[in-house]
Structure 1
Amino acid sequence: GQTWSQHLFSIATGNPRSLTIQHSDEFYLFMNMWAEFKWLSYQMTLKCWVQATEEYNHCLVKKTGQSVIQKNLQALLCALDDIEPKLMNCIVKDEYTSKRNNETFWCHHCSVVPLVKEEQGEKVSPTQTCSRCQTIMYPGAENSPLNHKQGYCTDGVKQVSKSSEDLPPWPQPQGLFSEGCTFHLHTFLLAVQRVYECIFMQGPGEMDLLEMEAFAKLLASCTEICEDGAVLFQLFADFVVDPSIPRNRIVTYNDKQWLRINFLQQL
């Protein structure tokens, strides 16, 4: 059987064709469902995305047959990430003509929901989107709970790295990061155990699918196994660590700071 690291890699990568919406049938189905169910980035919770993916795949199979490769939740996220700026651009430029020289399609989808803000007496301007989680930044009024946090996403990870390192993929499990500056080690180790239980034991370690995939990608990209069997997770330059675990669990390896994951070392 696969090792735990191989399982993590398979979760983190997935079938490439399941991760994108490419063919016209897939695209038009997505757009029709987007318009019908109003899948807006700033309103969609993880539970909503899971339900949306299940419904999309059900309709996709019904439309194209059982042999079709069903889509991963990430495919819908990427499609929305791609389409919202296009719709906003159409509205700002007041240009809705498609490649077929027809305005019906884009006019219809641009009228579904207000994707741009228009202040009285001012020109229409595009709504800002977060470069990391791709949600619309300020859909509500000032101080509205719908608005994106200043400087960090809903999972507590900062929007932009101050160093050259890659930020953890969105969305990480709740509690791992906070306010864009702190990495909580004890919560991280608990998440490692929950993911292991989900993958190997199908036990009580239930997690949201999207969070588990993002966390698996994080583990796969930042974990190394040493010759002595030690499993190390590279810590981030952009985040301070909280004092929730003994400092002797943090070691220096190849001139970088790493966290020992003893739980995985014993497997």
Structure 2
Amino acid sequence: VLAGIERRRKLLDAPIIEGVTSDECCKVRGMITSTLPDAEINLDTFHFVKRYTDSLAGGKKNACRGAIAKDITESVIELRANKRDGVLTKYWPKEEQVARLSAAWAKWSVHKHLWQASAAKVHEDQLNHVKNGCLARARNDIASDGSRIESSHKGWNSLMRSHASGLEMLTALGHDFVLRRNIRIASDLGESSPFAASTYGCHHVMLVDDIARKWNGICSRRASAIHALPMLQAVDSGESFGLAWTEYTSLAPAIKKELADTFVFEVDADYQDGIEFLDSRRLAPIFQAPAIPRVSATPQPRMTASATPQPRSTMQPSVTTGPPAPTYHLTRSERLYKRATGADPAALKFNDEEYFAFANFRVEHQLRTHEMTPAKIVKFTRQFNATLRAGSVHKDPRAILSMLLTLEEKVLERLHTGDYICGSGTDTFWKKQCEGFTITSAAKAGTETKGRKPAVCRRCERLMYPFGKGGQGNHSRDCCSDGAPQKLKDAVPWPQPDRIFINGKRFDASAFFNALATLDGMLNSGTEKPLEYERFWDMVSSRVIIADGKAYFKLFSDLEVIASQTHVVQVVDSQNVLCLGPTPVQPVSHSS
């Protein structure tokens, strides 16, 4: 998104972007400045104040809530905005903010009964933001705060609630919603563009532009002295609106892809011990292109039945290749989703009966996210699927792990609040879920200290600090258990085979080729692939590019290749890649 904004700014020769306001200023600063290096990253006042009010005992029912919010707000804001008079918000300098916030906290913190146990830690965190200058503003003549982002979220929620629709209709409604919102904001600006002003708030932009072009054409043909109407300035920034492929679809990890051609894969001479020769009939299914076209070095023709790659063995691979069969019991949106991802939507969600069944299954087997290895996930997924009634869709391992994390978060919340009453008015269900959860003492202490939801890793779906601060067995801050970065521009599906990723910072090409050889052997023998090799399949297939008749694996820009292996790295289209070998002249035939 930011890259598109920056490209559009340069094409329009607009001033540089000087500031970005976020509710996670320090967390996203690096990602934003990598695209917008001149931008100052600030914390918005709404979330800053809300973190204090959320730490009050009794929540919104606290009698002093309004007075406390007022004092906290005035500690960072010198003058509030007044839209009627055209006055923008004016902020105190950083040093003044620190002094005023400390005074406001000293005033109210003495009343212990007003605060939750987490309030002191919340104040410490927010004071650090103020000391870092996150609440100060370099320029007060630019509106840098407000509720536009929050109201945008509210608008999307209202859109989905008010218009029950599928993916196609929601895409159209979303396009209209964004356009109306952008036009309204542009019209409200003090110095709106001539074209935005000419729309008078109407979001039928193409109609207004077409009328202006026709009018201007008539005026030019008649050499009239009438002023021309402003027209929409087209900017080819390379952006698009609507459904698009991502590097990795977290809700559908087992993405099946189809490729027009199959490849013969060869390994660099330094790694011949790992792989002697990779036959196209055996490894071709790994490198299948998605049904929705992707950008590659050369255009690829559509897959035909005769070109579908097959393993050399007569045994079928554990993951089917090719498009899924039509499923008429699904809605149009679900069929579109299944066609695009290869995953049955029902395998990724739980109905009420399945939810309670899994909750009891979790207690019975004492499942905990921090103990889940790939082998255990597969094992317990099979066990749970065996308990489902006949006709139920078997759950995907990712869905199992995601639901397990969801239940753990809810258990911690119940333990934190002491509220075990469920919708039926009884406490039996949640007390059963909370009993025997041995890690909760440390994890619960962590939530009480911070006053926020427990930190979780959305990549590997587990609590990050189940044993409290500094506890042994906690999730690393930099990487997951497979060594891959927790956060990366190009997402990597979890889990991956060992040693390919090291400490979330380096990439081991030797381990990569060894994993490729292992996967080749599994496909050749028809043996079932472990979960980490299923995800390895997903990662590799999503990063193959074709150039000059060769197949390449696109390396990660944020990761360094081990120094002793950099000689195997090549550059294709300004991207660092590993050569996987030439593509065959003829595709592999479907028939034996």
TM-score bracket for this pair, using the shorter chain length: 0.7 to 0.9
Q: How many residues align?
A: 253
How much does 1:245 deviate?
A: 4.4
Gaps of 5+ in 1: none
SS of residue matched to 2:348 = coil
User: What amino acid maps onto 2:351 in structure 1?
Assistant: H
Residues 245, 9 of structure 1: alpha-carbon distance in 2 compared, 3 angstrom cutoff: farther
How much does 1:156 deviate?
A: 0.7
Aligned partners of 1:184 and 1:244 also within 8 Å: no
TM norm structure 1: 0.80
Higher relative contact order (CA 8 A, sep 6+): 1
Superposition pairs for residues 64-213 of structure 1, below 5 Å? 64-65=389-390, 67-113=391-437, 114-115=439-440, 117=442, 118-119=444-445, 127-140=454-467, 145-161=472-488, 165-202=489-526, 207-208=529-530, 210-213=531-534
Identity of aligned residues (%): 25
Gaps of 5+ in 2: 1-257, 260-283, 289-308, 310-318, 323-339
Aligned partners of 1:21 and 1:27 also within 8 Å: no
SS of residue matched to 2:536 = helix
Superposition pairs for residues 224-243 of structure 1, below 5 Å? 224-226=545-547, 228=549, 230-243=550-563
Q: 2: distance between equivalents of 1:246 and 1:130?
A: 31
Select between 30-39 and 251-260 the one with higher mean Cα deviation: 251-260
User: What amino acid maps onto 2:577 in structure 1?
Assistant: W
Aligned partners of 1:115 and 1:127 also within 8 Å: no
Residues 18, 108 of structure 1: alpha-carbon distance in 2 compared, 3 angstrom cutoff: same
User: What amino acid maps onto 2:380 in structure 1?
Assistant: A
Matching of residue 217 in structure 1 with residue 538 in structure 2:
yes
User: What amino acid maps onto 1:225 in structure 2?
Assistant: I
Select between 172-181 and 149-158 the one with higher mean Cα deviation: 149-158
Residues 141, 246 of structure 1: alpha-carbon distance in 2 compared, 3 angstrom cutoff: closer
SS of residue matched to 1:261 = strand
Report the equivalent of 1:45. Answer: 373
Q: 1: distance between equivalents of 2:469 and 2:420?
A: 30
How much does 1:18 deviate?
A: 5.6
Residues 93, 58 of structure 1: alpha-carbon distance in 2 compared, 3 angstrom cutoff: same
Q: 2: distance between equivalents of 1:160 and 1:246?
A: 24
Report the equivalent of 1:251. Answer: 570
How much does 1:227 deviate?
A: 5.3
RMSD between aligned residues? 3.2
How much does 1:244 deviate?
A: 5.2
Deviation by residue 1:61-117 (Cα, 9 ceiling, x = unmatched) = xxx11x322222222112123222222222222233323333321222122304353
Q: 2: distance between equivalents of 1:85 and 1:237?
A: 33
Larger CA Rg, structure 1 vs 2: 2
Matching of residue 22 in structure 1 with residue 350 in structure 2:
yes
Q: 1: distance between equivalents of 2:434 and 2:386?
A: 26
Residues 116, 135 of structure 1: alpha-carbon distance in 2 compared, 3 angstrom cutoff: farther
User: What amino acid maps onto 1:232 in structure 2?
Assistant: Y
Deviation by residue 1:218-244 (Cα, 9 ceiling, x = unmatched) = 11221123351x111111111100145
